[in-house]
Structure 1
Amino acid sequence: MAHRQTTFRRPQLPTGWRRLVARLPILVFRAGLGSVFGKRLLLLHHVGRVSGLDRMVVLEVVSYDPIGASWTVASGFGPKADWYQNLRAQPMTLIQFGNRPHAVTARFLPPDEGAEIMAGYARRHPRTARSLCAYMGLYVDGGEASYREAGRAVPFVRLDAAVGRRQHGRGQA
């Protein structure tokens, strides 16, 4: 019988050449080529809660609502991820989706909403969902109930576009 783990286990952060490869998409976005990622990735700007410096990370878009202008992302490294903690400290920020900037406000989703999001993601991307859960140390048997259980352990964030305003630079809001 397989061991079931429903508690999030933070994966090891990439180092060396793996870190360099993981950060390459930032350069693609900064070169103005973010549209090559389609609707799968976004560039999140965040401010270091200790340093106050601008930081960037590329995240996978778990779900996108073009009508409501919102993007849902997951913290694959758990609630201790720097970008996640920085958003907790300062939820109003900027993302780049494709080649367009958007002023957004982060909303941290409750576990039950995360369960629904993960189940939907697993229906749309079954192989990727299984791989991601394995990477995070979460057991899934391929059934919807196990993806819901895994989704309760993963921190999800909804990035809602600021209505009526667009942000082109870091200092504007």
Structure 2
Amino acid sequence: MADLNGKITLITAAAQGIGRASVEAFARAGAKVIATDINAEKLKDLDGLANVTTRVLNVLSADEVNKAVAEIGRIDILFNCAGVVHSGNVLDMPDKDLEFAFDLNVWAQVRAIKAVLPQMLERRDGAIINMSTVASSVTAVPNRAAYSISKAAVIGLTKSMAADYT
């Protein structure tokens, strides 16, 4: 990973899985990581890691996201890692599963971007990483309709932002 010395990096869903591995990698590269997650207990596992502070954050709440960004101040890198995987194909997928997948996999990223992007544009500096999956673009995974559909929207969001802001 590149030298990220001193770069303030906000990572969502940071308590486990890809989020946690990303926290560790960014911290090793010198970033000052703000590791966020809705699960306070799992966040405690990150206590004591060099260059890492933790914060409970519900990315489903625009108010919480906006408050967190205002309190943190400068953010150089936003890593949108929060997501959910539901089982089911399009015929047996309840509407509520698709709605929740969109809320967490897409809208949570949009909320965080809307909170952080203005300061990055003002500084003319910053990076946003949006987590998606090959299951939405390269290949299909059986019984993951809500996940694949919502993560395909993340790819569209990311491409749209690249066209608008680079």
Highest relative contact order (Cα 8 Å, sep 6+), 1 or 2? 1
Structure with the largest fraction of strand: 1
TM-score by length of 2: 0.31
TM-score by length of 1: 0.30
